[in-house]
Structure 1
Amino acid sequence: MKSEHLRASVVNDLVLLSCVGLRPVLVHGGGPEINSMLTLLGIRPEFIDGLRVTDAATMEVVSMVLVGSVNKDLVSLISQAGATAVGLSGLDGGLFTARPGPDAARLGFVGEVARVEPSVLRHLTDQGFIPVIASVSMDEKGQKYNINADTAAGELAAALGAEKLILLTDVPGILGQRDDPGSLVKEIDIKGVKRMVDEGKIAGGMIPKVNCCVRSLAQGVRTASIIDGRVPHSLLLEIMTDEGTGTMITG
């Protein structure tokens, strides 16, 4: 989320939700920040089907930026907004263990979540902390992997038995007609999502988002929403109003 104003808005929403008794867990990536650092270092960012191609050099940059910079900035913002956050990555407390992704030959160190151990998160949320999680982890041999933040969020939501998974993005949600914001699909079930993928209406970076939503629903999460993080207080609107914002996917 590039806008400092919108980032502060999301953080304030998280703090408010925590204050009224909900237990939010924030999982983040940091694509723009990673791209900026890669460019500064003379490494060209590359993507395939919405996923970052991650060689060894890129993996070091991803880890440095997500864990060392973006994560701590978010923790600081939450603290300034009046709550207490704890910054983690998938490596901490064995939170989630990675394995190579199915397309490792093309994508490099882009991993999948092999196992989740959510006990550290339960302890933190029980004590009123807001966990802030960078989507970097390692396999059982210690090799670090870049995990798509949406994918990590979906797996963590399922492991925690979360009521709702919400993905913040920079589009209104799932669109019936690509590039037409007026064709926003407000609610859709898993079968409808799969049909739109088959028809090519869902493509590119939206594919991993809907895939992680579908997987989390299949594992017991009640609803999953893809909402526009550019809209002020979209998080509150999605949770606190009947109308919501963006697209809600149901089982």
Structure 2
Amino acid sequence: MEIMCLNGWGGKLHEALVPYLARTSPNILCLQEVIHSPKSEKDWLTYQDGDHILPQRANLFRDISTVLPEHVAIFCPAAQGVLWDDDTSIPSQWGLATFVHRSFPIIGQVQGFVHKDYSPVGYGDHPRSRSAHGVRIWDYDANRAVSITHMHGLRDLNGKMDTPERARQAHKLLDMSRSLTEPDDLTVICGDFNVEPDSETLSILCSAGLTELVTGRGFDSTRSTQYKKPGRFADYMLIDREDAVNNFEVIHDPEVSDHCPLVLKV
């Protein structure tokens, strides 16, 4: 089984991202920063937050669903705000999505918030609402259940330092995974955590018996060259049985986002 975790950057590198996902077609895709604008047929809209202006693929969720037709697609919104078509505001939902190949039955799910709650009338003040989603699937080749839970960790404008809010979201993420997982399951937790490798977030998760694979396997970055700020880590993949890992990679080429895909084979 192949599990991919990626922050899609709102589809900014759409021309590279969509063909890459169509070609690789991971069994399980955990995708953060997904845009869903059901009232718009536009290909592109614009996100505006003060001086921060970013092109957004208006219906990234639809785009990925289209190129992964053999996957069950699940969108989990964190907020609905507006994107812009020139001077026209367009209601647009923002969140994360999970894609599961139909050959892997989904036998359990959990969805919820690790920071704040759903924001129905705007993206909200920073740090904004953050959601998480987990699926429990049956792997017939390995004859076992696998629990996979991912989140998009809160973004603090002051940086990636430890905060009480980040500690609480780590505990909430762990609680969500535990609520989904049965005793004999293989357990995976992943996502764009928005923290550094020495963070309290990772300490909380590792103290629960999980092994962190990014730095644990010697990778020195999860960011592509598209990311121009200091700090080379944001994304992590953890597993409860490291002996189940057949391969783990951080993919730097091709560049499909300002984040790198994390790819785990178990």
Q: TM-score, normalised by structure 1?
A: 0.35
Q: Which has the higher helix share?
A: 1
Q: TM-score, normalised by structure 2?
A: 0.34
